[in-house]
Amino acid sequence: MQKAFIIFSKHQRGRNRLNVSTVNNLVLVSANTKSIDDLDIRECVNLFLGKKGGFYGVWAQPNSILQTTEALNVGTKVITFYEEYFNISFPLPKQDMIAVPDYPLGAMENWGLITYRETAMLYDDKISTEDNLAHVTIVIAHELSHQWFGDLVTLKWWDDLWLNEGFATFVEYMGTDHVHPDWKMFDLFPIGDMYDAFEFDSVKSSHPIYVPVENPDQINEIFDKISYSKGGSVIRMIRYVLGEETFRHGLINYLNGLKYQSAVHDDLWNALQKVAEKEGKKIPYTVKDIMDTWILQMNYPVVMVTRAKTGLMVEQKRFLFNKDSNTTEKFQSPFNYIWKIPITYTTSSEMNFDKPGDSVKWLTTQSQG
């Protein structure tokens, strides 16, 4: 199929005319798919939901159908929350989720028909653990977020894979927090994803979030902690810099402006920048200037703070787990491993790091005092 219709493997959206030439003595024959009894599935229930209406269904094998109740409950709540948060109705007439036996992936965000490994969708409240419940909820929230980030707006090419997976990683915390606010999901983000990114990105063999992709092997290589966990972490960072409402309004503009189209990371920066300016955010650098230092160079800084006579001296330095490693670095930094770092601080009497954007201090050179 890909050799005949190569455009199908590309992300850019558009209408194409396909012409296929064949020898005139060939006979057209349709391929008949044989019946496969052991993949029998049965619909559990369809629920009407959403701003514009629609049906939400869950599917599983007959002996597992009673274990889909939680998936239906979580899915309907999450998709309604995403509709409201992003101010965009789910555009399809239905959304189905199917638990597939022996599915090789955790899940796949096919638009309107998400496929799951059974352990990522089925839950039995009589024998399953709280950890099982958390896993099912998080995976469903992740895959449903892709209906907006990945399906409604698609990355233009694989080099911006993080626009899909980094956003899904971050937004899964939002969806899960909506369903289970008592879990305090955002408090778990550092240990759930950020620390994983720290470990994976602490070596010379790492790669930037945005990375050139020229062959299929490179595509597979970047489905890793950089695209997912580090991508989600830098999104979390810019959310704090801009503030929740400005961040949300920027995402609404990004999704509405590019729905049914393809995007690159500069499209996201431009959408956030326009809203930041409109809402009077006092940030000394553009969103692009800040975020390019985080997605176009690999690794991350360690920030050191020391007391000075009149205040504090703050320094940044590229962190490597083994700086003496002989590993050849495939990627070179366009910023000489200097990042634009937003910094907030608190005091023993205040004990509050969650400051508004105009309270953020910036470290943009190797050291500042």
**pLDDT at position 5 over 80:** no
> Which range scores top for mean pLDDT: 54-63, 170-179, 359-368?
170-179
Which tokens go with 241? 């810099």
Question: Residue holding tokens 């650098």?
Answer: 285
Percent of the chain clearing pLDDT 70 (strictly above): 86
Say how many C-beta atoms besides its own lie within 10 A of residue 157's C-beta: 15
- The answer to whether residue 109 is catalytic is no
Closest CA to 166 of 263, 242, 257: 263
| Structure confidence at residue 368 (pLDDT) | 78
CA pair distance 100, 92, nearest whole angstrom: 22
143, 221, 315, 329: which one is catalytic?
Answer: 143
Mean pLDDT over the full length of the chain: 89
CA pair distance 135, 122, nearest whole angstrom: 10
CATH entry, 41-147, from 3.40.50.20, 3.40.50.300, 1.10.390.10, 3.40.190.10: 1.10.390.10
Say how many C-beta atoms besides its own lie within 10 A of residue 316's C-beta: 22
> Which range scores top for mean pLDDT: 17-26, 91-100, 250-259?
250-259
* Segment 276-320, tens digit of pLDDT: 999 999 899 999 999 999 999 999 999 999 988 888 899 999 999
Residues marked as binding for Zn(2+)?
142, 146, 165
CB 117 within 8 A of CB 98: no
Is 158-368 the same fold as 41-147?
yes
The amino acid occupying position 109 is: E
CA 203, 206, 209, 210 torsion: positive or negative? positive
Give the architecture-level CATH label for domain 158-368: Orthogonal Bundle (1.10)
**pLDDT at position 43 over 60:** no
* Segment 192-224, tens digit of pLDDT: 999 999 999 999 999 999 999 998 889 999 999
| Four-point Cα dihedral 212, 218, 219, 225, nearest 10 | -90
| Structure confidence at residue 295 (pLDDT) | 98
Three-class HEC string of the chain: CCCCCHHHHCCCCCCCCCCCCCCCCCCCCCCCCCCCHHHCCEEEEEEECCCCCCEEEEEECHHHHHHHHHHHHHHHHHHHHHHHHHCCCCCCCEEEEEEECCCCCCEECCCCEEEEEHHHCCCCCCCCCHHHHHHHHHHHHHHHHCCCECCCEEECCHHHCHHHHHHHHHHHHHHHHHHCHHHCHHHHHHHHHHHHHHHHCCCCCCCCCCCCCCCHHHHHHCCCCHHHHHHHHHHHHHHHHHCHHHHHHHHHHHHHHHCCEEECHHHHHHHHHHHHHHCCCCCCCCHHHHHHHHHCCCCCEEEEEEEECCEEEEEEEECCCCCCCCCCCCCCCCCCCCCCEEECCCCCCCCCCCCCHHHCEEECCCEEC
Which tokens go with 146? 């892709």
* Segment 74-100, tens digit of pLDDT: 999 999 999 999 999 998 989 999 999
**pLDDT at position 18 over 70:** no
Question: Residue holding tokens 């690159």?
Answer: 264
CA pair distance 243, 272, nearest whole angstrom: 11
Which tokens go with 65? 């159908």
Q: Record the pTM.
A: 0.87
Residues marked as binding?
142, 146, 165
What angle, rounded to 10 degrees, do the helices at 231-242 and 244-258 form? 120
Parse the chain into domains and list their residue ranges. Answer: 41-147, 158-368
